[in-house]
């Protein structure tokens, strides 16, 4: 028992200073990294670097410095960095296969930063999700969904898939369809619908809104109503026009017909 206690004491005497120094290096190193990141952010803000590029570069710098710090701590604990590198090299194939998805996501992040299909603050649709771009990180992109949920999409999938950017053009067309009775006067109905959309303060005059008969359906004459708005006003225009149209048609005595169904009775 005394023999084991002596060995334990020898280990403590041998490795305790190294462990303490490694802890100090990690704490001090983490503090220095945070200072460097803050300084980098300030420099990029001062030089008016694009916010999307700012966040990506800071995230990349953060992980690079963290990895270097961890290697330094490991070396201080007595592990030869050359041996550590040799172990990584020998396990390179396994590590490469394990990190294949991550490397693809990293490459996807680089492609997004190079080609800039979207930026922070844009409303996009991708991978079956719709949301405002919150942050572009090394491996993933974070969106804020329309119901304020956080959506995280891997950059690899994002860069290789279809992306619809609703914000890049600055304006959007609001596509609405309203059906009225066959008894309604087409000219009068078009005038009412046009008056509803042109009187809305957030509907743009250029491009000009349009109202056209789009379909002679089974139980209604359908009108395609197409006002334009700024991207940020899209939903306000969509909901307001829908409500105001119903009110205006009711006031004019123009019927919006219910769907008709035919019931067939078989004689026995």
Residues 83-119: tens digit of each pLDDT: 555 555 655 545 455 555 677 888 888 888 888 899 9
Q: What is the rounded average pLDDT of the residues 225-247?
A: 95
Question: 33-47, 52-66, 222-236 — which one is most confidently predicted on average?
Answer: 222-236
pLDDT for 133 beyond 90: yes
- pLDDT tens sequence across 151-209: 999 999 998 999 999 998 999 999 999 999 999 999 999 999 999 999 999 999 999 99
For the chain, how are helix, strand and coil distributed in percent, rounded to 5? 55, 20, 30
Task: Quote the Cα angle for 225-229-230, to 5°.
Answer: 160
Report the range of poorest mean pLDDT among 10-14, 59-63, 218-222: 10-14
Between 94 and 229, residue with greater pLDDT: 229
CA distance 131 to 122: 8
Q: How confident is residue 10, by pLDDT bands cut at 50, 70 and 90?
A: low
Question: 4-13, 65-74, 108-117, 230-239 — which one is most confidently predicted on average?
Answer: 230-239
Q: Tell me the C-alpha to C-alpha distance, in Å, between residue 87 and each of 63, 79, 92.
A: 21, 11, 8
* pLDDT, position 125: 94
Q: What is the dihedral of CA 106, 108, 114, 120, to 10 degrees?
A: -90
* pLDDT, position 261: 58
Residues 137 and 56: beta-carbon distance below 8 Å: yes
Q: Quick one: which of 71, 81, 86, 82 has its CA closest to 22?
A: 71
> Which domains can be identified in the chain, with CATH numbers?
1-115 (1.10.287.1260), 122-165 (2.30.30.60), 171-252 (3.30.70.100)
Tokens of 164: 């619809």
Q: What is the rounded average pLDDT of the residues 127-133?
A: 93
Where b means 16+ CB within 10 Å and e means fewer, 163-188 reads: eebebeeeebebebebbbeeebeeee
Beta-bridge partner residues of 176: 225
pLDDT for 65 beyond 90: no
Confidence (pTM): 0.61
CA distance 251 to 108: 55
pLDDT for 212 beyond 60: yes
pLDDT for 259 beyond 70: no
Tokens of 242: 């829908």
CA distance 171 to 80: 59
Q: What is the dihedral of CA 7, 11, 14, 19, to 10 degrees?
A: -170
The sheet with strand 163-165 has its strands ordered as 150-154, 140-145, 129-136, 123-126, 163-165
CA 69, 74, 80, 82 dihedral sign is negative
CA distance 88 to 73: 17
């Amino acid at each position: 028992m005394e023999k084991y206690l002596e060995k334990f004491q020898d280990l403590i005497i041998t490795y305790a200073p190294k462990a303490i120094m490694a802890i100090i290096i990690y704490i001090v190193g983490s503090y220095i990294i945070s200072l460097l990141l803050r300084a980098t952010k300030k420099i990029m803000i001062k030089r008016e670097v694009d916010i999307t590029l700012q966040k990506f570069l800071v995230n990349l710098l953060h992980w690079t410095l963290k990895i270097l710090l961890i290697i330094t701590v490991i070396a201080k604990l007595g592990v030869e960095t050359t041996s550590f590198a040799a172990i990584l090299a020998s396990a390179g194939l396994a590590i490469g296969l394990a990190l294949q998805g991550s490397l693809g996501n990293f490459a996807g992040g680089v492609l997004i930063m190079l080609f800039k299909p979207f930026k922070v603050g844009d409303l996009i649709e991708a991978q079956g999700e719709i949301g405002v771009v919150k942050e572009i990180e090394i491996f993933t992109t974070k969106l804020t969904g329309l119901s304020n949920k956080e959506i995280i999409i891997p950059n690899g999938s994002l860069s290789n898939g279809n992306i619809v950017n609703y914000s890049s053009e600055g304006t959007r067309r609001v596509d609405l369809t309203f059906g009225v009775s066959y008894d309604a006067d087409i000219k009068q109905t078009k005038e009412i619908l046009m008056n509803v959309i042109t009187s809305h303060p957030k509907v743009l005059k250029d491009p000009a809104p349009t109202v056209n008969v789009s379909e002679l359906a089974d139980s209604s004459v359908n009108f395609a109503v197409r006002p334009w708005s700024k991207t940020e006003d899209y939903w306000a225009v969509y909901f307001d026009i829908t409500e105001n149209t119903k009110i205006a048609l009711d006031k004019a005595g123009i019927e919006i017909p219910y769907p008709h169904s035919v019931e067939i009775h078989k004689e026995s």
